[in-house]
Structure 1
Amino acid sequence: MANKSSKTLARTNLATLNRTHLTTLSIHLIFILYRLLFLRGSVYKYVLLVLPSLLIEAYLDRLGRPGYGANGDLLRPGEDLAAQGVTEYLWDIVYATWIVLGLVGLLGEWAWWVALVVPAYAAYLAWGLYKGFVGGGMPGMPKVEEQPAQGASKRQQKVEARGGQKVRYR
């Protein structure tokens, strides 16, 4: 079982990507059919607000899709799609787009405004990061108070009383 962790990562990435693509396709098809049959809406809003999510999903596919050789051997497992940090934020954008599509389908055109939550949250995080740098530290990190220099330890005091440390030359 050589490279068991790589094979497991490749298998989970492939399952995650397939499930994501199927869910995205289903949500978009249901939304488009519902809007064509029952309600009319702006195609421009749909394209403008869904395009970033589709681009992010394509990027995640490129990032996490495992690569196989001609004989079926695993060449690369892809990056971990469950990683924290930027990957996590990218998944949040995809999920938020799904939610917005559902809300617009159920509640109407005014629900497109809910899509502004994502850039508003990004601006909030950027502002906090900026204030952290300008304020003299990283955001979320406790401030380090400068401690006044304390007196020397007893050992250091004894060494200094004897004339300090002396360097011996041979």
Structure 2
Amino acid sequence: MARKATKTLAARNTTLLLRTHLITLTLHTLFLTLSFLISRRSLTPYILLTSPTLLIEFYLDRLGRPRYNPDGTLRSAGEDLDARGLTEFLWDVLYWTWGCMGVVCVFGDRAWWLWVAVPGYSAWLGYKTFMGFRSGGMMGMDAGAGVAEGGGGVGESKRQKKMEKRGQRVKYR
């Protein structure tokens, strides 16, 4: 079977996007129905906080939607929507917004404050990364800390440790 991996990726992306669109449609319909029929909910936070996720969903659709030739053959499977990094973060924002919409449907407009966790978490990660770089390394570790403390260098082999124990000089690069 030619290009089985791309065909599998295209099928997985198609089902994932379809499920995503159906969940989004259901949640928005439920929210608007409850807002107009049962209780008056403010539409300002709804529009303000769900607009970015609709843009994210549009972006993920453009990114992962398979493309076909006019004769029906697969031209491009789209990008992997399960990729790590930015794509994973976009899915997290989408899922968190869905959760917030569900909680707002049950508990009311004050539950929109839960959405603040997303930028708060991003700010915390940015701060942690900045402080790690500032202290001399990505993990906040000093490169020569192991040697200065007498515990041996980072990643020292058993052979090097034995040679140092015998009193032989070990040359570090």
Give the TM-score range, shorter chain. 0.7 to 0.9
Match of 1:119 in 2: 119
Structure 1: segments with no counterpart, 5+ residues? 157-170
Match of 2:157 in 1: none
1:129 deviation in Å? 1.0
Cα distance in 2 for residues equivalent to 1:78 and 1:2: 17
1:145 deviation in Å? 2.9
1:143 deviation in Å? 4.5
Cα distance in 2 for residues equivalent to 1:18 and 1:137: 43
Matching of residue 32 in structure 1 with residue 24 in structure 2: no
Cα distance in 2 for residues equivalent to 1:135 and 1:60: 36
Please, which moves more after superposition, 37-46 or 6-15? 37-46
Question: Considering only aligned residues, what root-mean-square deviation do their CA atoms show, in Å?
Answer: 1.9
Q: Which runs of 4+ in 1 moved over 6 A?
A: none
Q: Which amino acid aligns with 2:124?
A: Y
Q: Which amino acid aligns with 2:57?
A: E
Structure 2: segments with no counterpart, 5+ residues? 154-163
Question: Contact conserved, 2:135 with 2:142, CA < 8 A, in 1?
Answer: no
1:144 deviation in Å? 3.0
Distance 1:134 1:44, change over 3 A: same
Match of 2:128 in 1: 128
Cα distance in 2 for residues equivalent to 1:8 and 1:106: 38
Cα distance in 1 for residues equivalent to 2:127 and 2:39: 39
Higher CA-based Rg: 1
Number of aligned residues? 153
1:80 deviation in Å? 0.6
Q: Which amino acid aligns with 2:64?
A: G
Which structure is richer in relative contact order (CA contacts within 8 A, separation 6 or more)?
1
- Secondary structure of residue in 1 paired with 2:18: helix
Cα distance in 1 for residues equivalent to 2:29 and 2:79: 29
Q: Which amino acid aligns with 1:144?
A: A
1:105 deviation in Å? 0.9
TM-score (norm 1): 0.84
1:152 deviation in Å? 3.9
Match of 2:144 in 1: 145
Distance 1:142 1:72, change over 3 A: farther
